[in-house]
Chains A and B, each alone.
Chain A
Amino acid sequence: MTLHTLNRRTLLKTGAAGIGAAMLPFGLPRLAAAQEALTIGVVYVGAKDDFGWNQAHAVAMEILKATPNVTVVEEENVPETDACAKSMESMINIDGAKLILGTSFGYYTPFMLDLAAKYPDVAFRHAAPLWKDSDPANAGSYFCYLNQAHYVDGVAAGLSSASGKIGFVAAKPIPSVLSNINSVLLGARSVRPDATVQVIFTGDWSMPVREAEAANALVDAGCDVLTCHVDGPKVVIETAEARGVKSCGHNASQAPLAPKGFITGAEYKWETIYTMYADMLAKGEALPNVVVGGYHNDMVRNTAYGAGATPEAIAAADAAIAGLKEGKPIYVGPLKDNAGNVVIDKTYDNYDPYLDGMNYLLEGVIGSIT
């Protein structure tokens, strides 16, 4: 099973022709790295060693750095303003970069799209599922659907919790975060129908004091498992451990932070994508426009179970992973949001673009997105 043939998302959207469009190297620069040197420019929104989102990318990037004839140039702490466009342009103009990887959501529109039109002989790849057929052919997307691993978190949390109340510290009410929250709920309810997920939004990606306050508030409200979606989950996991409740991680392994209560955690496997890119570049092949995936193509994983996971939880979580690898859907409709409206009318495939626009919390989640 190779990545190139697995592109259900595009299939769903545009039919068989979409597969062709996603796979064919038309209009793309020849990135013949095997023969000539190639410079890749990488732009991060935060510090490369933030123990979170950016570090997950930076660690995986080592694979590209190790590829023969490839030079990787990196910039960190680049905001989602024209500064990111200028950084990328500087990589193209001064360093001669022929491939640009933008790892923050807000880089794509308008900045990377404009640059792709301006520099047709440079390839642009962006870490979010945003590329459309109408976008420039030298642009593209790659993304790991982390909500699948959060679903597994939910399964394990549901069976490891005494109260059935799971607390979720979230940064912002945006689809990628909401999808993780809802997936934790559905995972927990798949093994424990009375489970709830209580969410607190901090309003920002990195607000350590408020994250600690939110974690404490959730424990005080009766939650006995905490998980989160913020840039650096360290504070939430440490607070949970200090309060004597269990925890599930996010972005990277936080297992060492909670030797007593860690259950499991949702982790990206960006290295799967970057290895694939490196292989293709080494062979001089053009990169596909869209590479997305989850459990079925080894693009997410769960952290090894910690002391907080009960044997039943481990068994159920392993079974859930096996199901996801076979494409078992998470969103089995019909489902209502927590205001009682039907928001998911039918069962959706795990990569259905409909789910990318999620703007609701499902019934069973305590919290509001406004």
Chain B
Amino acid sequence: MMPEAALQTVLIAMLGGAIRVSTPYLFVALGETITEKSGRINLGLEGNLVLGAMVAYALSFHTGLPWLGVAGAFAAGLVLGLLHGTICSLPKVNDIAVGIALMSFGIGIAFFFGKPYIQPQAPRLEGLALGEWSSNPALRQALQINPLFFLGLVIAVALWWALANTRPGLILRMTGDSEPSARAMGVNPVRVRILATVLGGGLAGIGGSFLSLSYPGSWNEGLSSGQGLMAVALVIFARWNPLRCVWAALLFGAAGALGPALQSVGISQGYYFFNAAPYILTLFIMVASARSGVAAHAAPGELSIVK
């Protein structure tokens, strides 16, 4: 049995991990939620994430202003989103395929221009020390929280509220659920989808800036290791609900911290499976909670992958 102290260590690590690791997933998932709510899927947000990380790091390095880096990452994400949005608005063009192609393109640009920034150190975003009341250094570290995490929470709540209660929210949902109804309302679905993809791409870019400027807080070519792709998948898991995106991202982050934390208290047998815990857990929850109809109900009707 695990002694109490060890259990506490693991739990604190998972709490910290949930906060530290979840933020990029949260931004990408929220961005993708906006895009998918409009009836389009952008599978290429991994490219936005990686490009955002590189641009943020480079800008922070050159100007010494990490928040300018965040803004730059947002802008880079917007541009890639605009490319995806416009190309997919052409007739007969498949959004999933364009997403994968733009992912390759975005990563290519990031790696091409990111070479000089692997070695130098750029100023990072400072975290807010919210754990000063505790005498436990591990807990203090876990509660050293980056403002971007709170920004993500705020965006999630605002998005959740806006989708249900505002006219833009209604237009977005309408466009995603039924293009003919949207047209009947006098909405131009093409424009809505482009805007939704642009905004979604920008949020994913911010997620990238968190990776390079906060945690782990460094730029190199292995930085993301597929987080953007996974976050897009989490949106389906979260059933296109911004609040569920928060829970999904937190859960995924906490599960990601499990492997290293268990090893730190001496449980290291089968670490490959502990490291794969986020994937196993997500799959398990999906299978357990899947009931015919529920998931399909929440899905935007125009989305190509759920048709």
A residues sitting closer than 8 Å to B (CB atoms) are: 46-47, 49-51, 198-214, 216-221, 231-232, 234-235, 238-239, 242-243, 256-257, 366-368, 370
How far does the Cβ of A166 sit from chain B's closest Cβ, in whole Å? Answer: 13
Also in contact, A200 and B263, with CB within 8 A (given A49-B115, A207-B225): yes
Pick from A210, A231, A234: contact of B260, CB under 8 Å: A210
Tell me which residues across on chain B come within 8 A of A210, comparing CB atoms.
256, 259-260, 275
Say whether B13 contacts A217, CB under 8 Å.
yes
Pick from B17, B264, B270: contact of A200, CB under 8 Å: B264
Tell me which residues across on chain A come within 8 A of B225, comparing CB atoms.
204, 206-209
**A205 vs B222: C-alpha distance when bound (angstroms):** 9
* Chain B, range 245-297, C-beta contacts under 8 Å to A: 256-257, 259-261, 263-266, 268-272, 275
Say whether A201 contacts B17, CB under 8 Å.
no
Say whether B263 contacts A201, CB under 8 Å.
yes
Q: Mark B7-38, 1 if CB is under 8 A from A, else 0.
A: 00100110011001100000000000000000
Say whether B218 contacts A234, CB under 8 Å.
yes
Known: A200-B264, A256-B121. 19 other contacts (CB 8 A): A200-B260, A209-B225, A210-B275, A212-B215, A213-B13, A213-B20, A213-B257, A216-B20, A216-B141, A216-B260, A217-B9, A217-B257, A217-B260, A217-B261, A218-B264, A238-B216, A238-B217, A242-B217, A367-B263
Say whether A49 contacts B222, CB under 8 Å.
no
Q: Does B3 contact A (CB under 8 A)?
A: no
Say whether B263 contacts A217, CB under 8 Å.
yes
Q: 29 A-B pairs, CB-CB below 8 angstroms?
A: A46-B221, A47-B115, A49-B115, A49-B118, A49-B119, A51-B118, A204-B225, A207-B225, A208-B216, A208-B220, A209-B215, A209-B216, A209-B223, A209-B225, A209-B227, A210-B259, A213-B256, A216-B16, A217-B261, A217-B264, A219-B141, A220-B9, A220-B13, A220-B141, A221-B9, A232-B220, A238-B218, A257-B121, A370-B270
Pick from A46, A202, A220, A367: contact of B275, CB under 8 Å: A202
**A232 vs B138: C-alpha distance when bound (angstroms):** 25
Tell me which residues across on chain A come within 8 A of B9, comparing CB atoms.
217, 220-221
How far does the Cβ of A46 sit from chain B's closest Cβ, in whole Å? Answer: 8
Pick from B119, B137, B211, B259: contact of A51, CB under 8 Å: B119
Also in contact, A201 and B268, with CB within 8 A (given A47-B115, A211-B216): yes
Say whether A208 contacts B271, CB under 8 Å.
no
**A220 vs B144: C-alpha distance when bound (angstroms):** 14
How far does the Cβ of B118 sit from chain A's closest Cβ, in whole Å? Answer: 5
**A370 vs B263: C-alpha distance when bound (angstroms):** 11
**A243 vs B20: C-alpha distance when bound (angstroms):** 14
Say whether A220 contacts B271, CB under 8 Å.
no
How far does the Cβ of B280 sit from chain A's closest Cβ, in whole Å? Answer: 14
Pick from B218, B259, B270, B275: contact of A235, CB under 8 Å: B218
Also in contact, A203 and B115, with CB within 8 A (given A232-B220, A257-B121): no
Pick from A51, A199, A218, A239: contact of B216, CB under 8 Å: A239
**A51 vs B211: C-alpha distance when bound (angstroms):** 18
Also in contact, A50 and B218, with CB within 8 A (given A200-B260, A220-B264): no
**A238 vs B119: C-alpha distance when bound (angstroms):** 12
In the complex, residue of chain A having the shortest beta-carbon distance to the beta carbon of B139: A220
**A234 vs B227: C-alpha distance when bound (angstroms):** 20
* Chain B, range 116-175, C-beta contacts under 8 Å to A: 116, 118-119, 121, 137-138, 141
**A246 vs B259: C-alpha distance when bound (angstroms):** 23
Say whether A368 contacts B269, CB under 8 Å.
yes
How far does the Cβ of B40 sit from chain A's closest Cβ, in whole Å? Answer: 29
Tell me which residues across on chain B come within 8 A of A204, comparing CB atoms.
225
In the complex, residue of chain A having the shortest beta-carbon distance to the beta carbon of B144: A242
**A185 vs B257: C-alpha distance when bound (angstroms):** 26
Tell me which residues across on chain A come within 8 A of B218, comparing CB atoms.
208, 234-235, 238
**A221 vs B264: C-alpha distance when bound (angstroms):** 6
* Chain B, range 191-238, C-beta contacts under 8 Å to A: 211, 215-218, 220-223, 225, 227
In the complex, residue of chain B having the shortest beta-carbon distance to the beta carbon of A52: B220
Also in contact, A214 and B216, with CB within 8 A (given A220-B13, A232-B222): no
Tell me which residues across on chain A come within 8 A of B259, comparing CB atoms.
203, 210, 213
Say whether B221 contacts A368, CB under 8 Å.
no
In the complex, residue of chain A having the shortest beta-carbon distance to the beta carbon of B136: A220
Say whether A221 contacts B265, CB under 8 Å.
yes
In the complex, residue of chain A having the shortest beta-carbon distance to the beta carbon of B127: A242
How far does the Cβ of B52 sit from chain A's closest Cβ, in whole Å? Answer: 15
How far does the Cβ of B260 sit from chain A's closest Cβ, in whole Å? Answer: 4
**A217 vs B270: C-alpha distance when bound (angstroms):** 18
Say whether A209 contacts B21, CB under 8 Å.
yes
Tell me which residues across on chain A come within 8 A of B216, comparing CB atoms.
208-209, 211-212, 235, 238-239
Say whether B141 contacts A214, CB under 8 Å.
no
Tell me which residues across on chain B come within 8 A of A201, comparing CB atoms.
263, 268, 271
How far does the Cβ of B221 sit from chain A's closest Cβ, in whole Å? Answer: 6
Say whether B221 contacts A50, CB under 8 Å.
yes
Tell me which residues across on chain A come within 8 A of B270, comparing CB atoms.
370
Say whether B222 contacts A206, CB under 8 Å.
yes
How far does the Cβ of A155 sit from chain B's closest Cβ, in whole Å? Answer: 24
Say whether A367 contacts B141, CB under 8 Å.
no
Which of B116, B217, B259, B264 is the most central at the interface, judged by chain A CB atoms within 10 Å of its CB? B264
**A200 vs B268: C-alpha distance when bound (angstroms):** 8
**A206 vs B222: C-alpha distance when bound (angstroms):** 6
Say whether B220 contacts A51, CB under 8 Å.
yes
In the complex, residue of chain B having the shortest beta-carbon distance to the beta carbon of A212: B216
Say whether A203 contacts B275, CB under 8 Å.
yes
Q: Which 6 A-B pairs have the closest CB atoms?
A: A206-B222, A212-B216, A217-B264, A220-B138, A368-B268, A214-B260
